[in-house]
Amino acid sequence: MTIHTSEDQGQIWTAIVARNRDWDGRVFFAVRTTGIYCLPSCPSRRPKYSSVEFFSSADDAERAGYRPCKRCRPEQWGRDAAEFRRLMEILLDQQEAVSSVEEWAAAAGISPVFLLRVMKRFTGTTPKRVIMEKRNNDLKELLKNGETISASQFAAGFSSSSRLYEKAVSHLGMTPRKYQNGGAGERIVYDFLNTPLGRMLMAATEHGVCSLKFGEKNHELLKELVCEFPAAKIEQQTGELDLWIEQLNAYFSTHQRIFEIPVDSHATVFQLLVWQELRKIPYGEKRSYSEIARSIGKPKAVRAVASACAANPVAIINPCHRVVHSDGSVSGYRWGIDRKKALLKMECDESKDHN
326 burial via Cβ count (<10 Å: 0-12, 13-18, 19+)? exposed
Provide the 10 A C-beta neighbour count for residue 210. 24
CA distances from 127 to 21, 47, 180, 255, 275 (A): 17, 31, 27, 37, 19
CA distances from 69 to 1, 8, 20, 217 (A): 19, 23, 17, 51
CA distances from 36 to 1, 10, 30 (A): 17, 20, 6
Calpha distance 230→224 (Å, rounded):
9
C-beta of residue 242 within 8 angstroms of C-beta of residue 232: no
Q: Please list, in sequence order, all residues whose beta carbon lies within 8 angstroms of the beta carbon of residue 242, skipping any fewer than 6 positions away.
A: none
Catalytic annotation present for 69: no
Give which of 257, 274, 13, 272 is closest to 125, Cα–Cα: 272
Beta bridge partners of 27: 24
- Quickly list DSSP for 248-264: HHHHHHT--------B-
Q: Please list, in sequence order, all residues whose beta carbon lies within 8 angstroms of the beta carbon of residue 38, skipping any fewer than 6 positions away.
A: 28, 29, 30, 31, 44, 69, 71, 72, 74
Provide the 10 A C-beta neighbour count for residue 111. 12
Catalytic residue among 42, 210, 309, 320: 320
Catalytic annotation present for 309: no
Catalytic residue among 38, 42, 210, 309: 38
Active site residues: 38, 320
